[in-house]
Structure 1
């Protein structure tokens, strides 16, 4: 088939499948079939780069490197809204609207005020052209490559759209994604992200769009702007946006008067906590667009809209005790048990205090009356103590010196916030948590074997390591005898185990739960070494030279690889036919022009992404390393390269070359 025709077919089909899955929750094909089509399209685009479309579905996974965000002027200023916490203020706002419209009938639209990052999207002839942050309201950063990774956002609109349209909306990180991200950071002893809004904002500022894609951001549209008048009302424009395939939260409502607005506010005061995204209030807008024009603007905000903000969710309750939980990496996390108290739509019984430093900072004592808030309105946390109500004789909390699960003396590695249990092979919570991680969605994703089931199997002694999972099909008769497991469930479980043998190698590597080896690092290691045997044979020094790995990760992985128990685990996984190598051909050799030369790439480059330059070097026989030594052939310097690398290269007399000088080392066709 003609490559151009096939690229067009795959692009249209994948756009349709994405829309069905993310907008309508319909899976028309299996994940494997979808991934196969995406891989085929990616290969065709690499072979015929001039045929690749800017809004190709392959852009969803990112890969674009932005050395510096350009800025763009908003065609329509992105004004801020006036805020109020008072219902009386809302009634006064309604009176001003009534006066401004000289008694003409009017209605409102109420929308949730999502706690994310305001974004302006420009579509031309239905194709996404540009994404720009709010900035100062007049100019913002162009973050188009990062916006394209948002899977709920259509890269091209459906039928009956204006030729030129600007869509305003909110980019946000779903609560569950935020919780997962913080849980992983806590397991690794890293500082927790403050709230989903900051996490979303930070993700949009990342220069590598592949990292943005991993943050799983989402988008809700709340405004449509076009040259000329295409709609008579704001509610009509929202309905049109949804018809074009844009994600519009179904929570908005048209209200006939201010009393219906207040009813909506009261209804959502508690119900908003059921949403997958944080909200901190309600936005009220006059619905009719001509009436909006009639009311006009002040210097900073429109006269036809206002935001009502709910009071911050906080409570005061008694600290009953501290429980210490052991995670997958051995990190011991304190959890406060409280006298149950209503907070932000739920009854809070437990709250996070993060680590020993936080306990000491707050000066917590059992029996204290403590103040509890929801961090980003998600995770309850203790924020302070009512010292006036402290019981007489209350003793400072002593952090345990031994693991609460297995009794092993705890250790606190230098520079880390968490105490850890070093008993990796005998501490039950660690063993169980590693199994739960192995079967999780981002790792092996074994259908029928979720966290609860695998935890139950662990308690029954059926599985202790990931390799034991692959023995379960031979123990079918034994499984049938278990309560709450019918034959159909067991058959689904066995099918899920078999299907897990088709996942990519990098997901297996991630699923092993090696400390510091997250999704991105697993991917980099898999691309570099291509199989588990090569990874386990590499020294820490060699692994530290892999781009984006570094010394801490390399030391952890090398230590893991040296342990006989892990070597035996890998042997058993290999015997069970679990993928332990990258399938497909390695990067095709183009020439040996760079044979015997080693390179370090640092900074952001103008014409190629770092990954593309790495691939070029390898295609021409060169090797990539991550550290600078006397043996290094060249340091390839992009913009914003760290001064320490430049200084070390200069001291060791390592040649420092630019991107163009690197390309000049290649055969003429590549340099051109």
Structure 2
């Protein structure tokens, strides 16, 4: 057995009641600094063990943070960082890809069933082959299984399960998880490979999902998906920001093996490896079945997801005699829980802010099976419906899926709290006041609200807006988070150098996007009106408004000063007219539009029909055209009876390719056997019908 420099040293001043008033770094000699670094590392490792493994911290969080910050400061100042240092838990430089690594020992699956008859059959086989045995009963964690390899007490690598024989080396990501010790404690084996389950605690998962929803991002379906998506991030700094934990539950290989599984689990905490406290040892399979039933009842009270229990033969010699199949170890059996079906508690409510400022409450649920799909959120629609159904956080509800797609809360099955959930008085994103409009609630922040800003930019660039290829939800979020877009008008001030500094952007993709944006400086009036994202004003209504007023100035003046006149326009009624007036009455919206007009010149509309020479044709444009904007080209062919769309399908007749075209549309055209023509060829096709593209 080897022994590390565990934190048993009573002379370490940073263990109990540590000082946090440190002398200036400039006054330290290098020897004194390195000595302090070693003491801090040892102390922080012990504090990590006491916090994560023993659940019995010695110091307050604020004091821990001060020690950690001091260690970082010294390592930076004296260039003495080390792979095993606790400071490595804050992440590092992104990597390009993961290496594939062979496991020390196969990480096989477990035979499983939800029927007690199958569990008894497993026990009968064990008895026939090795006689009477004790069983260790453990929760079956619903996370991501990984191999952790320690050599001489130091974490050498962490590898995902993969195919059971080899997996991805995610060591740099694993180092960011607080409950993964960089160095083992106590009398540990010289070599140790253990199996652990990485997971996201349920409360942290719900809080993280709530943040994602309020940022306008798609939430994770369940904690396991969140964990799997996190552990394979290429940027360790991203992993460090997400709340992951680990339970260790098996030895894969060691230089010093215990005689039984229970002994291994007892040693784990001594080495700093965290184990669940819900482990039981039984000598009869009926007791193992009872254990599973108890865990099923306790399931909702745990702060981590389990989907059953695992029953393992305790004695290691008996395990070896039982052997393994190509797929699973024969000494263990998983007794699965039935899937949660339709009825589940509401853990929290997140409020999502839409493009128009509408607040939509979303119930965050304990993951539940609805029609074969795991659901962890459901729509609550609006405050009026919440009150009608008397829904609140803590209530147990029945969840259904509308049209087999959108989950919603159908009814309250059991009240957990009095009364019903009330929407906040202020926007959760920008803290602007919330106003009610009948059954709906709206943030009054307008485009000054980050959530509305992101969605407004997304909509401005979408198919119903100016169709800026290469500017979708992910790229918009990236540009906003990087501080490059504070207003929609900032799109027109982007520079190639700024884009290429971002992850995933190269010179070609940057230039393609800038070309798309440049081609949108003189959009047709109808496209510009639709792109503004005014409530209830989509492409059809925008076209009618453009046809009626001809110029943006005439339309805006009417919307601001004479909204009743708008009601006479086709597809515009009293409600839409009121929305148009309110949009321009908002100072934030008016300023945003003025900023846009400094970069954009909406073209005067001429939507009168010029005949039906192109009737029945569907045309898609990509890239920039010479001597005419893409919007003007669309308007020309539409006035002659053709349809234009922003995406290619089997119904498309022509894809017109200009300069710097998008590759996606060309790929779709080839896949759908759509004719691809360049600008000159298309002009010739139009000329045959007596049409000039201008």
The structure 1 residue matched to 2:495, chosen from 623, 629, 642, is: 629
Shift of 1:335: 6.4
Instruction: Determine if the alignment matches structure 1 residue 92 to structure 2 residue 121.
Output: yes
The structure 1 residue matched to 2:479, chosen from 533, 550, 557, is: 550
Structure 2 partner of 1:269: 296
Instruction: Determine if the alignment matches structure 1 residue 82 to structure 2 residue 11.
Output: no
Deviations 1:51-74 (A, max 9, x none): 322021111221331111111001
Instruction: Determine if the alignment matches structure 1 residue 151 to structure 2 residue 80.
Output: no
Structure 2 partner of 1:120: 147
The structure 2 residue matched to 1:383, chosen from 400, 413, 421, is: 400
Shift of 1:650: 11
Q: Which has the larger radius of gyration?
A: 2
Tell whether the 8 Å contact from 1:223 to 1:238 is kept in structure 2 after alignment.
Answer: yes
Deviations 1:623-652 (A, max 9, x none): xx999626x499569888585136569999
Distance 1:82 1:30 in 2: 44
Deviations 1:338-386 (A, max 9, x none): 9xxxx99xxxxx99532659x99xxx9x99xxxxxx9xx9996723379
Structure 1 partner of 2:618: none
Alignment of 1:201-240 (within 5 A): 201-227=228-254, 230-240=257-267
Distance 1:634 1:315 in 2: 45
SS of 1:237's equivalent in the other structure is helix
Instruction: Determine if the alignment matches structure 1 residue 645 to structure 2 residue 513.
Output: no
Distance 1:550 1:84 in 2: 48
> CA separation of 1:352/1:129 partners in 2, compared to 1, >3 Å: closer, same or farther?
closer
Distance 2:441 2:97 in 1: 40
- What residue ranges of structure 2 are gaps of 5+ in the alignment? 1-28, 370-374, 405-422, 426-432, 455-474, 518-694
Structure 2 partner of 1:282: 309
Structure 2 partner of 1:353: 378
TM-score by length of 2: 0.53
Alignment of 1:240-639 (within 5 A): 240-315=267-342, 332-334=359-361, 353-354=378-379, 382-384=399-401, 408=435, 421-423=442-444, 550-551=479-480, 554=483, 629=495, 632=497, 635=500
> CA separation of 1:225/1:513 partners in 2, compared to 1, >3 Å: closer, same or farther?
farther
Instruction: Determine if the alignment matches structure 1 residue 19 to structure 2 residue 49.
Output: yes
Tell whether the 8 Å contact from 2:480 to 2:486 is kept in structure 1 after alignment.
Answer: no
Shift of 1:40: 2.3
Instruction: Determine if the alignment matches structure 1 residue 38 to structure 2 residue 68.
Output: yes
Shift of 1:23: 2.4
Instruction: Determine if the alignment matches structure 1 residue 59 to structure 2 residue 88.
Output: yes
Tell whether the 8 Å contact from 1:324 to 1:332 is kept in structure 2 after alignment.
Answer: no
Tell whether the 8 Å contact from 1:410 to 1:422 is kept in structure 2 after alignment.
Answer: no
Deviations 1:282-318 (A, max 9, x none): 111111011000000111111111111111112479x
> CA separation of 1:14/1:634 partners in 2, compared to 1, >3 Å: closer, same or farther?
same
Deviations 1:150-189 (A, max 9, x none): 1122111111110000010100000011100111122233
Instruction: Determine if the alignment matches structure 1 residue 72 to structure 2 residue 101.
Output: yes
- What residue ranges of structure 1 are gaps of 5+ in the alignment? 318-322, 345-349, 368-373, 388-402, 412-417, 426-511, 519-545, 560-624, 653-672
Shift of 1:552: 7.4
Shift of 1:24: 2.7
SS of 2:298's equivalent in the other structure is helix
> CA separation of 1:642/1:275 partners in 2, compared to 1, >3 Å: closer, same or farther?
farther
Tell whether the 8 Å contact from 2:214 to 2:350 is kept in structure 1 after alignment.
Answer: no
TM-score by length of 1: 0.55
Shift of 1:36: 2.6
Structure 2 partner of 1:482: none
> CA separation of 1:312/1:123 partners in 2, compared to 1, >3 Å: closer, same or farther?
same
Structure 2 partner of 1:175: 202
SS of 2:193's equivalent in the other structure is strand
Shift of 1:32: 3.5
> CA separation of 1:249/1:337 partners in 2, compared to 1, >3 Å: closer, same or farther?
closer
> CA separation of 1:264/1:635 partners in 2, compared to 1, >3 Å: closer, same or farther?
closer
Distance 2:437 2:93 in 1: 43
Structural RMSD (CA) = 4.6
Tell whether the 8 Å contact from 1:351 to 1:379 is kept in structure 2 after alignment.
Answer: no
Distance 2:161 2:453 in 1: 35
SS of 2:309's equivalent in the other structure is strand
> CA separation of 1:635/1:196 partners in 2, compared to 1, >3 Å: closer, same or farther?
closer
Distance 2:93 2:337 in 1: 39
Distance 1:83 1:378 in 2: 32
> CA separation of 1:513/1:277 partners in 2, compared to 1, >3 Å: closer, same or farther?
farther
> CA separation of 1:324/1:59 partners in 2, compared to 1, >3 Å: closer, same or farther?
closer
Distance 2:364 2:204 in 1: 25
> CA separation of 1:83/1:646 partners in 2, compared to 1, >3 Å: closer, same or farther?
farther
Shift of 1:82: 1.0
The structure 2 residue matched to 1:10, chosen from 18, 24, 40, is: 40
> CA separation of 1:628/1:67 partners in 2, compared to 1, >3 Å: closer, same or farther?
farther
Distance 1:223 1:132 in 2: 15
Q: Which stretch of the first structure deviates more once superposed, 116-125 or 268-277?
A: 268-277
> CA separation of 1:231/1:8 partners in 2, compared to 1, >3 Å: closer, same or farther?
same
> CA separation of 1:255/1:20 partners in 2, compared to 1, >3 Å: closer, same or farther?
same
Instruction: Determine if the alignment matches structure 1 residue 200 to structure 2 residue 227.
Output: yes
Shift of 1:332: 2.5
